[in-house]
Amino acid sequence: MSVSGLPPYDPQNIFARILRGEIPCKRVHEDGHALAFHDIHPQAPTHVLVIPKGAYVSAADFHASASAEEIAGFWRAVGLVAKSLGLEATGYRLLANMGPDSGQEVPHFHVHICGGKPLGRMISSG
Ligand code: 5GP
């Protein structure tokens, strides 16, 4: 098991394949540290995923193992993307699922940026 209680990084996971350009995405931003693209099943009028370029299986893995430069670059990209999507005035939600109880589906660390309408309660039991 990796640092975050998940299996070791799988280079064939869907986001690794998107990073390598093997699978298309609706890209909204790319820099040296991060790639941002629209979620394929949006849960809000705007739903964008931001992923680091490094091979980190989860939030726990990323924050334990990435360099300070990677962490700063990634989170700066999250802020830039949210701003570029025009979400700052009305607000937005950042969400990162980590491990089984969260329902994390894709084992490459990612942050969801959701906005474009009032988003309601933070956590659903469903
Ligand atoms: P998680 O549950 O791991 O936090 O979120 C994974 C997200 O990735 C889901 O919202 C899902 O819709 C999205 N997703 C899964 N496969 C693809 C894909 O091939 N392309 C895109 N753009 N999003 C995907």
Would you list the domain boundaries of the chain? Answer: 14-115
pLDDT (tens digit, 0 to 9) for every residue of the chain, 126 residues total? 555 578 999 999 999 999 999 999 999 999 999 999 999 999 999 999 999 999 999 999 999 999 999 999 999 999 999 999 999 999 999 999 999 999 999 999 999 999 999 999 877 655
What pLDDT sits at residue 122?
77
> Which residue in this structure is represented by tokens 């979620």?
39
Q: Name the token pair of 115.
A: 């906005």
**82: enclosing H helix or E strand:** helix 68-84
Task: For domain 14-115, give the CATH superfamily.
Answer: HIT-like (3.30.428.10)
Q: Could you tell me the pTM of the whole model?
A: 0.96
Strand 92-95, strand 46-52: pairing: unpaired
Are the C-beta atoms of residues 107 and 13 closer than 8 Å to each other? yes
Look up 110 and say whether it is catalytic.
yes
- In whole angstroms, give the CA distance from residue 111 to residue 97: 8
Sheet of strand 46-52: strand arrangement: 27-30, 34-38, 46-52, 111-115, 92-95
Q: Is residue 33 within 8 Å of residue 77, measured between CB atoms? A: yes
- Which of 40, 43, 97, 114, when mutated, tests ligand 1's pocket best, judged by the most ligand atoms within 8 Å of its CB? 40
pLDDT of residue 27: 98
Supply the pLDDT for residue 84: 98
Alpha carbon nearest to ligand 1 atom 21, residue: 40
Return the pLDDT at 102: 94
